[in-house]
Structure 1
Amino acid sequence: MVSILVVRHGQTAWSLSGQHTGATDVPLTAEGEAQARALAPVLAGRRTCLVLSSPRTRARRTAELAGLADAAPLQLDDDLAEWDYGGYEGRTTAQISEELGRPWSVWHDGVVPGDTPGETVQQVAVRARTVLDRAATAVREAGGDDAADVVLIAHGHFLRVLAACWLGLSPTAGALFALDAGTWSELGHEHGRPVLRRWNVPAAL
């Protein structure tokens, strides 16, 4: 049965500090590069019919170090970019909460405009569903249930929204799916229903 493998890019300085990283093109740390290399043995045994990556350097570099740069072949997709955090770009949840004088959550409070306009969770979900439709088309064209897998390399909040959309849940349900840097997950089916087969699996360093 075909699966969609989702890979969150390796650690960056901002993912380590908890800073929201949307459009800013932050590179991987040395630890992030090690995490990406450790993913290679996990992904090496999977046949792929489509490999899509966010255009951000941290995602593309993760794909390269994980051995996916020449797979299927690798294609860049703007729809896989991280949530546009607008005026909250580069800031932590604690900093935003302190400024507002109350606890803040991107899932329920959203963002404010800044250098970029920012996105609502529903707008992120539109992009996620577009990616899932593209994956489904690739699987059908490659032979349906006998086709190879799809691999997506992207970002934490975006992939959490994508997982919620896969399961038919509200995009805000992505808040329930913690996802660490340098991990892989598997979206699949059980008895014809979309399920999470694996989630937030760290590669063995």
Structure 2
Amino acid sequence: MNEMLLLRHGETEWSKAGRHTGRTDLPLTEHGEVQARALAPLVKEPFGLVLVSPAQRARRTADLAGLSGYEVDADLWEWDYGGYEGITTPRIREDRPGWYLWRDGVIPGDAEHPGESAEEVAARADRVIGRAKRAEGRVALVAHGHFLRVLAARWLDLPPQDGRLLKLDTGTYSRLGFEHAERVLVTWNAPVC
């Protein structure tokens, strides 16, 4: 592998409202579809491997961007927010003043949203990186904000909590690559529209 192109899915109603959206499967908004189509110029060259989260927002982004022949990989699901699924940070802070996902984690939820630690997200990100490293040529990943932030931190050999330093908006692209055989962040949180 010589480069990883990371595409964060387009906007959903929950991402627009700041609601934590882990495993709840929401469609893109109209603006999210515009964002996804705008990513198309980035995927003109061939990829040796294309992996997409199972979430419909990620699969629809991949389709609208023009990616084909991709593999759905459950390791690319967003962070499981447990009991904080669908809740905004200001609402969580009403009960837990000063709460910060990267430091404080999540509380357990129901059977569909049991919750996940940063280390558990990192283990999934490490598996994705391992797959990507074995691929020929360029790799594309279509996934979610917090997951991709953890993946980038792990790419840089940082602890998963350092993903907090890497803000990532919907409908953006980022690139991970190499400089003098060392892993680097090439482009981050770049908008296309």
Q: TM-score range by the shorter chain?
A: over 0.9
* CA distance in structure 2 between the partners assigned to 1:171 and 1:18 by the alignment: 21
Residue of structure 2 aligned with 1:84, choices 77, 80, 85: 80
Q: Deviations over 1:88-112 (max 9, x none)?
A: 0000111101111x11111110001
Which whole-Å CA distance do the structure 1 matches of 2:51 and 2:40 have between them? Answer: 16
1:159 lines up with 2:148 in the alignment: yes
| 1:67 paired to 2:66 | yes
1-side partners of 2:114 and 2:31: how far apart? 32
SS in 1 for 2:151: helix
Counterpart of 1:199?
Answer: 188
Give the aligned partner of residue 91 of structure 2: 95
Q: Report the counterpart of residue 122 of structure 1 in structure 2.
A: 119
Indicate the residue corresponding to 1:142 in structure 2: none
Q: Distance in 1 between matches of 2:184 and 2:191?
A: 19
Q: TM-score, normalised by structure 2?
A: 0.97
Which amino acid in structure 2 is aligned with residue 113 of structure 1?
P
Cross-structure match for 2:50: 51
What is the distance in 2 between the residues matched to 1:89 and 1:21? Answer: 6
Amino acid at match of 1:136: K
Alpha-carbon separation, structure 1, partners of 2:2 and 2:23: 31
Task: After TM superposition, give the deviation of residue 42 of structure 1 in Å.
Answer: 2.1
**Which position in structure 1 is the counterpart of 2:37?**
37
Equivalent in the alignment of 1:9: 9
**1:13-24 residue pairs with structure 2 within 5 A?**
13-24=13-24
State the secondary structure of the residue aligned to 1:130. Answer: helix
Q: Secondary structure at the match of 2:188?
A: strand
Which runs of structure 2 are paired with 1:121-160 in the superposition (5 Å)? Answer: 121-139=118-136, 148-160=137-149
**Counterpart residue number, 1:145:** none
Residue 105 of structure 1 is matched in structure 2 by 100
Please report the TM-score for the alignment, with normalisation by the length of structure 1: 0.91
Equivalent position amino acid for 1:173 in 2: D
Q: Displaced runs of 4+ in structure 1, greater than 2 A?
A: none
Task: State how far apart, in whole Å, the 1-side matches of 2:80 and 2:109 are.
Answer: 10
RMSD, matched Cα: 0.9
State how far apart, in whole Å, the 2-side matches of 1:110 and 1:179 are.
19
Aligned residue pairs, count = 191
Q: 2:134, 2:175 → 1: CA distance?
A: 18
Measured in 2, the distance between the counterparts of 1:3 and 1:63 equals 18
Structure 1: give runs of 5+ residues left out of the alignment.
140-147
The one-letter code matched in structure 2 to 1:181 is: T
Q: 1:191: how far off?
A: 1.1
